[in-house]
Amino acid sequence: MTGPEQFEPGASAPPGQTAARCIYVTAIGMTVTSVKALTIAINRDSNTWQLRIRFAPGLAARLAALSEKLIHKPAPHNQLAFIVAGHVITAQLVVAKFTPGNLAIGISTSAAGEHIVRQLVGP
């Protein structure tokens, strides 16, 4: 996975982007500057809250490849961190391959999901 959207872990922002509105994934270096949808819902199978992120079609294969790499790493190296303006918004263990273009993050409550969304998209 190479390209202009990659950068070294710990970088403040990828080239040409402002740190305040970028979501980036460390360790592999994938950058996402927009998503198709952010929704908060109950997982009917587990009866737990989830923040669901739907990515643009062009990111689906890269996201699946990222998750495939992470699920084979031992903890804590299998965590996916979302970082905005140099601050970790959430970091989750990756235990299964992501479905094409979608990511679900376990959250404790609807309010917790709303808090994460506000941090990701800003005011």
7 and 31 Cβ atoms separated by less than 8 Å: yes
Residue 7 maps to a domain = no
| Residue 14 belongs to some domain of the structure | no
pTM, 2 dp: 0.66
Q: Quick check: is 101 in a domain?
A: yes
* CATH number of the domain residue 61 falls in: 3.30.1360.200
- In-domain check, residue 108: yes
pLDDT in tens for each of the 123 residues of the chain? Answer: 222 333 344 444 444 444 443 444 445 567 777 788 889 999 888 899 998 888 887 787 888 888 888 888 887 778 888 877 777 888 888 878 787 778 888 888 999 989 888 888 876
Kindly write down the DSSP assignment for every residue of 1-23, as one continuous string.
--STT---TT-SS-TT--GGG-E
50 vs 90: CA distance, rounded Å = 13
Lookup: tokens for 109 = 């409550």
Report yes or no on 8 lying in a domain.
no
What is the tally of structural domains in the chain?
A: 1
**Does residue 11 fall inside a structural domain?**
no
